Amino acid sequence: MIENPSELAKLISHGVYVIGVSDGARQNAFTAAWVMQVSFDPFLLAISINPEHYSYQLLKAGGICTVNVLGRDQYSIAEHFGRSIKDKMAGFDWRTASTGAPVLSCGLAYFDCRVSHYADAGDHRIAVCEVLAGATLHAGQPLLYNQTGDLDGSGEFYKT
Ligand X SMILES: Cc1cc2nc3c(=O)[nH]c(=O)nc-3n(C[C@H](O)[C@H](O)[C@H](O)COP(=O)(O)O)c2cc1C
42-81 residues in contact with ligand X (CB under 6 A) are: 48-50, 53-55, 78
In the complex with ligand X, the residue whose CB is nearer, 1 or 117, is: 117
Position among 9, 32, 45, 113 found at the interface with ligand X (CB under 6 A): 32
Please give the residue whose beta carbon sits closest to ligand X in the complex: 82
77-136 residues in contact with ligand X (CB under 6 A) are: 78, 82-84, 88
> Which is it for the CA torsion 36, 115, 72, 50, positive or negative?
negative
27 is a contact residue toward ligand X (CB under 6 A): no
On whether the CB atoms of residues 104 and 88 are closer than 8 A, the answer is: no
For residue 83, the minimal CB distance to ligand X (Å) is 5
Which residue stretches of 24-123 are H helix?
A: 54-62, 75-81
CA distances from 131 to 23, 36, 139, 145, 150 (A): 18, 12, 21, 22, 30
In the complex with ligand X, the residue whose CB is nearer, 48 or 116, is: 48
For residue 103, the minimal CB distance to ligand X (Å) is 17
What's the rounded Cα separation, in Å, for the pair 47 and 42? Answer: 16
Provide DSSP, 120-156: EETTEEEEEEEEEEEEE-S--PBPBGGGSTTTT-GGG
Position among 10, 22, 33, 94 found at the interface with ligand X (CB under 6 A): 33
30 is a contact residue toward ligand X (CB under 6 A): yes
For residue 38, the minimal CB distance to ligand X (Å) is 15
Q: Residues interacting with ligand X, by CB under 6 A?
A: 16, 28, 30-34, 48-50, 53-55, 78, 82-84, 88, 148, 151-152
